Amino acid sequence: MLKIHILSSTDRPNSNALKVSRYAERTLKKHAQTKIFSLADFPLQDVAGGKYGKAPESVETFNNEFLDADGFLFVIPEYNGGFPGVLKVFTDYLPFPKAMYRVPVSLIGESAGAFGALRPVEQFEQILSYRNALIFPEKMLIQNVNDTFDENNGLESEKLEELLQKQLNDFPVFVESLKGELVNS
């Protein structure tokens, strides 16, 4: 069975990213084995001072467990017109160049503002492209998240909920189509 790991890409307690991750998992679970990872659990304190190129064991464990999947969904909030700093730190400790190489990645953005984290999602896409990831073209950008999204019922707008479900149902097909073709080749 396919394995898809979801990253709630912030360390903020009780985050919307985690709520969206849990909601998204409900659909992904129909097609794949899933697991949610939260950057709230990333051992940030262990990399203080800069341990680049010699990641502590705690970071290696977090990374290895996360990377053990066929595809990834990143749920990204907007902080100051960008993605959370902890997501960049996490990315800078992923094994280079292997991690993310030719690996399918789907993205969901969420923000309190009107643009649904378009900026951070596109910024992170640049980094994923640099790391040779295969970015899934469908992506949901959740605007005004506190008013438009509910963890139990999803998006208030029927039309947007339909698009979100389409992304979540289509991504596993994309992952499956690439399995054994490009990944690790």
Interface residues with ligand FMN (CB under 6 A) are 10, 12, 15-17, 77-81, 110-113, 145
Question: 20 or 103, CB closer to ligand FMN?
Answer: 20
Q: From 139, 123, 124, 128, select the one nearest 101 (Cα to Cα).
A: 128
- Whichever of 117 and 128 has its CB closer to ligand FMN, that residue is 117
| Shortest reach from residue 12's CB to ligand FMN, in Å | 4
Q: Which residues, other chains included, contact 1 with Cβ-Cβ below 8 Å and sequence gap of 6+?
A: 32, 33
Nearest Cα neighbor of 149 from 165, 160, 138 is: 160
Minimum distance, C-beta of residue 22 to ligand FMN, in the bound complex (Å): 12
Q: Which residue is nearest to ligand FMN (CB)?
A: 113
Rounded Cα distance between 5 and 19, Å, is: 15
Cβ-based nearer residue to ligand FMN, 58 or 148: 148
